[in-house]
Structure 1
Amino acid sequence: MLTTPLPSEIDIRKLVVKGAEISAQAPVSSLPRVADLLADVEGSLQVDLQFYKDEGHFRRVDGQVAGTVNVICQRCMEPMSVAVDTRFELGIVWSEEDAERLPKSLEPLIVGEELVDLADIVSEELILSLPFVNYHPAAECKQTVGYSSVDPKVEAAIAKAEQSERPKPFEVLKNLKFDK
């Protein structure tokens, strides 16, 4: 097992033949596609990858990404931590036709003749595992009421003042009825 920073470009076929295992600490800043979705690029993720050929003779990479990232709470727009722990099983194929022959339990990873960047694989899986919308728990969120940042007491006072100043819409009709 290799414990180093995440390799940037590898020949995935050689890793499958060797039955390689890679265990790495990937700084969040080294995953630029993920960094754009986060509040900051602080911290690192533990990445464990296993390359092998299974009993069905399919080339595979199984992996796990675990750690904590900071995202933006959609209520108060403040950073919050989200724990990430995702597992994935990818079937390594060379074309779309090969991908169709994979068992349903495997997602295809289509590789060509070029070298593969492991950060791209980890980024894809991390993006899929992040929550679509993030919120602090209600007790921890700085936003106290719904989606408004106005104090509910102030909001009620404004509404009451607006109603007292407005003319009543049916007062005009009342006057028309008695004019006859």
Structure 2
Amino acid sequence: MNQQISTGLTSYRDGYFEFNFTGNYYFEIKKPSECSIAEIHLFYLKLRNGNKVTPLNLHEKIFSAEYLGFCYGGGNLIGISGIKKPTANYLEIVHKKAGIIRNTDQTILEIGYSFTEEGFRQRGISTKLKTMLLRKISRHNGIIFSTTATRSSQRFLLANGFIARGFPYQGMFDDNIVYFEKSSIGM
């Protein structure tokens, strides 16, 4: 048994195996507090591998997420995604870059931190993780947003009721980042 995959004996977690024509995968959604230090660190390493996030305070940001999604294949972590709790400062920066004016007291969550190892892309791993994460927050009353320059992620967001808002902007790691959001009330 892979020591990195929790057995689920200590608390309930969403997790299951899936077999499709491209292989066997184990998907798991957990709160950061349910993760081992090794799992948090592996999540961190995958994010750094993707080279799309700044390492500044990254461990703390991962620990403060609402949920983390993991996909294992062949006993190795091959894909990740998460539901983040953005800070007010971060929201202000993103909204300003996208040209969005917002005054709200609604709770805002962000779907992001998505990364799949290159050899496992285009197999639906990221889609499955993000779908499972959205299901976990289906009772969230507020706004869910995501920013991405990746076409497949943009298609996923549109297919799941998100609406592109504002205008594309230059990010630290990507060009033409698009801001998507949806109100999760009645999701």
TM-score class, shorter = under 0.3
Q: Which has the larger radius of gyration?
A: 1
Q: TM-score, length-normalised on structure 2?
A: 0.27
